[in-house]
Structure 1
């Protein structure tokens, strides 16, 4: 991780602090470095984590899956977005995260309506079918793994349209959003993950000033959280009566792609290049920080 870096031995500290709810500016202040250095380490680790994941991703799906979206925003509340997420019902392994831009909706003041019209005139509308298209991508990948039993989701119409658009090989069960969100709810794995986003990512806390400035920064934090929760942490912190290994095994151990809870060195110890793994178009865009509909300038 320190290849061609002026300051060594920062990445592990940056990762653990960032995944514990500390903002980039605060990490920089604590480590006595520039905030750009923190962003650079996070970007590098996100890219490396994707390469690592390609080698350790499960080949078959042997459990039910909960699927839903996490709604947030980048740069300003005029650029809301959706993180489409698929999580294993038993293992709580995060299988996929994809990005969908949204157009602002809901009540606005006259000033906000004026600003929204100006942005639309300048940049155009975000694609209105983005959730549908990204759902097709995620669900096709899940379906191609085989072995999956049931997909649980809420009643979002885009999910149903996506499932009808191809030969989906899992049973689809919808859960009403008003059902109590406790462990008995089939969507509990996804609801718990979204709570973890709110708790452990400083940019996703309610009424925060540490919001993500563009799509790349958001997706890189989400990707790091994915690897951090899948491979470097146990499923739960405390013992669970109905799951004796929950406080000992990581989600990756449940799906059979790891034999221990991995350390930072296990995941990031060996630097690899994107040419060493096979990446699809969305993954290459992630590596190159390409977001066609972004209204911000994103440095590569």
Structure 2
């Protein structure tokens, strides 16, 4: 068997190289590259979970989602990120499928309708995803023995619904601050930490580059490369 150094795959992975591109450079098959990425992802997730369990929260939190797609643009997704406001530490993320939106030709509308009939998407997928992030934030607060935690987000209506649906006894434990997403994405912006993560993901991960042709073929591969 040919030995493939993990560090070489990793260096290509974080510089927006595609799977086939990396495979050609290393003279191995794309399946081999995917296999090594999956192994690294599992190790990264395990290490992150282990270290996160030791964290005592000392800062406010920021959450936001960025949209991408897998397989084709008929399968868009939203990946919610939760990060530390000051440290920019990536605490967790959550994946949710979306329905295709925006301008489409008549043929695309018909095809999209057929796909939705066969593979329906839950109407409240972003709601559920953000709900998990809020629950994670409350768990961090509890482990850190803080009286409350502040969560900054943009003005997405689903975020407001999640916060309004919290049990009464939990509403005083988390403060929701809404920031206009159209404000300049500078360091002074309260959403800077997730805006910066969004920028780095778009820049360094070929799956999520604007107008990419190196999109992920399935959700598992998409999230493994983010790990």
Structure 1 and Structure 2 fold alike (TM over 0.5):
yes
**Equivalent position SS for 1:50:** helix
The alignment's TM-score, normalised by the length of structure 2, stands at: 0.91
**Equivalent position SS for 1:206:** coil
Question: C-alpha root-mean-square deviation of aligned residues, in Å?
Answer: 1.4
For 2:75, the equivalent position in structure 1 comes to 79
Give a deviation string over 1:127-173, Cα, whole Å, max 9, x none.
11111111111111111211364211001111112222321422111
For 1:90, the equivalent position in structure 2 comes to 86
Q: How far apart, CA to CA, are the structure 2 residues paired with 1:202 and 1:214?
A: 14
The structure whose residues are more often strand, as a share, is 2
1:184 has 2:188 as partner: yes
For 1:172, the equivalent position in structure 2 comes to 176
Whether the aligned pair in 2 keeps the contact of 1:61 and 1:142 (CA below 8 Å) is no
Q: How far apart, CA to CA, are the structure 1 residues paired with 2:2 and 2:49?
A: 28
1:11 has 2:9 as partner: no
**Equivalent position SS for 2:220:** helix
1:203 has 2:207 as partner: yes
Q: Which structure 1 residue ranges, 4+ long, deviate > 3 Å from structure 2?
A: none
**Equivalent position SS for 2:28:** coil
The alignment's TM-score, normalised by the length of structure 1, stands at: 0.70
Q: Shift of residue 19 of structure 1?
A: 1.0
1:163 has 2:158 as partner: no
- Pairing partner for 2:221 from 217, 220, 242: 217
Structural mapping, 1:121-160, within 5 Å:
121-123=117-119, 125-146=120-141, 147=146, 149-160=149-160
**Equivalent position SS for 2:195:** helix
The structure whose residues are more often helix, as a share, is 2
Give a deviation string over 1:17-65, Cα, whole Å, max 9, x none.
1011111111111111111100000011111211112211143221111
For 1:120, the equivalent position in structure 2 comes to 116
Q: How far apart, CA to CA, are the structure 1 residues paired with 2:127 and 2:116?
A: 21
Q: How far apart, CA to CA, are the structure 1 residues paired with 2:187 and 2:62?
A: 13
Whether the aligned pair in 2 keeps the contact of 1:74 and 1:214 (CA below 8 Å) is yes
Give a deviation string over 1:225-261, Cα, whole Å, max 9, x none.
xxxxxxxxxxxxxxxxxxxxxxxxxxxxxxxxxxxxx
Structural mapping, 1:24-63, within 5 Å:
24-57=19-52, 58-63=54-59
Q: How far apart, CA to CA, are the structure 1 residues paired with 2:182 and 2:208?
A: 23
Whether the aligned pair in 1 keeps the contact of 2:63 and 2:81 (CA below 8 Å) is yes
Q: How far apart, CA to CA, are the structure 1 residues paired with 2:138 and 2:117?
A: 39
**Equivalent position SS for 1:143:** helix
Whether the aligned pair in 2 keeps the contact of 1:82 and 1:99 (CA below 8 Å) is yes
Unaligned stretches of 5+ residues in structure 1? 1-5, 224-300
Unaligned stretches of 5+ residues in structure 2? none
Whether the aligned pair in 2 keeps the contact of 1:135 and 1:159 (CA below 8 Å) is yes
- Pairing partner for 1:64 from 48, 60, 63: 60
